[in-house]
A = this chain, B = another copy of it.
Amino acid sequence: MFFASDNSGPVPQQVLDALARANEGYAMGYGSDALSQSVADRIRTLFEAPEAAVYLVPTGTAANSLALATLCQPFQTVFCSDVAHIHEDECNAPEFYTGGAKLTLVRGGDRMTPEGLRAAIEGEETRGVHGPQRGPVSITNVGERGNVYTLDEMRALTAIAQEFGLPVHLDGARFANACVRQGCTPAEMTWKIGVDVAVFGGTKNGLMGVEAVVFFDPAKAWEFELRRKRGAHLFSKHRYLAAQMDAYLADDLWHDLASRANASCDRLRAGIEGAGLRVLTERHANMLFFEAPRDLHRALQAAGAVYYCWGSLESGAKEEPIMGRLVCDWSVTEDAIDAFVDLVKKAG
């Protein structure tokens, strides 16, 4: 009953196999090996973007920060949700990589509304040289509270960005999960609806640590390469990043893993809602936020369920509702889900 994070499970055997396969003989470093080149080509094909510049980095924070640094001047501000990972969970990495740009928070949770985004952008227009200048819009799909934007919802946001001439960054740490939930192609979720730079995440969906950054307009490709190196994220033995991505692309493993995780989450949601819990996430992919009395959380965790809560379980009234998060990674089993649901039923 491990629902703490999708960075906690094992990687599928295909990834280990790919590493072993890549481990033959000599390969030139820093991404100039054949496997790295081929993987970039296949990502271009997957995204139907033959001109795109594609780069691998080891962490999601690196992918986001480097992409934003390439899109955003230090005297600008990035527009994002007030619970965005780039704001809450990257220890000022975007500020560091951009050289001190600001983040302007769009209030209202993990799905920005067009109204909220427009208000935030317009709020940064009135001070000339005194205030930060408007910079990129950053969208996260799947959002940090588990919600999936529909393509229409994303399109409404990118349209506003375009209206103001601002580039759009997609934080796709859970790209595959969002894509599967919407039943769309990678192209449909990105450049076809106005995304300029997308992160195609692998780490939360079964890889050891690889994210692809995809620039649909390659004009800033060389700048990104320099920023990646300067940020110490250019792997010398790049083939081992490429190998993981190689496995991810083969036979649509990325899609398969996300489908499994999402299906597990469907089962989990049905189970706990059936047991009377209130789920806060409206349109989930592989992650649920729910509310339960402190007492119930304590009982579940005492019985071996592992997940995070937003608030203290130790002290406070036992009836007070506390928010918990349940994440399904690709490897979670039906048994684990059913066992958890049973626990909820018994404890609830």
Listed in ascending order, the chain A residues whose CB lies under 8 Å from chain B are 2, 4-5, 7-11, 16, 19-20, 23-30, 57-62, 65-66, 73-77, 88-93, 95-103, 126-127, 129-133, 203-204, 208-209, 223, 225-227, 229-237, 240, 306, 310
Contact = CB atoms under 8 A, between A and B. Distances in A.
20 contacts: A2-B25, A4-B28, A5-B29, A8-B26, A8-B27, A8-B29, A16-B16, A58-B209, A59-B233, A74-B92, A74-B230, A75-B227, A77-B92, A89-B127, A92-B101, A93-B229, A93-B230, A129-B226, A129-B234, A209-B235
- Cβ-closest 10 pairs across A and B: A95-B100, A7-B236, A62-B232, A61-B232, A75-B226, A2-B26, A91-B229, A99-B99, A96-B100, A208-B240
Contacts of A76: 92
Nearest to A8: B26
B232 A132 contact: no
Nearest to A26: B2
A36 B129 CA distance: 16
Contacts of A9: 25-26
Contacts of A306: 26
B236 A209 contact: yes
B131 A88 contact: yes
A65 to B, nearest CB: 5
A28 B223 CA distance: 35
A252 to B, nearest CB: 22
Contacts of A236: 5, 7, 59-60, 203-204, 209
A288 to B, nearest CB: 18
Given A11-B237, A73-B223, 14 more contacts: A4-B28, A8-B237, A16-B16, A30-B129, A58-B209, A58-B235, A59-B232, A59-B235, A66-B232, A88-B130, A95-B100, A96-B231, A98-B100, A129-B234
Contacts of A74: 92, 95-96, 99, 230
A19 B102 CA distance: 38
A234 B26 contact: no
B96 A229 contact: no
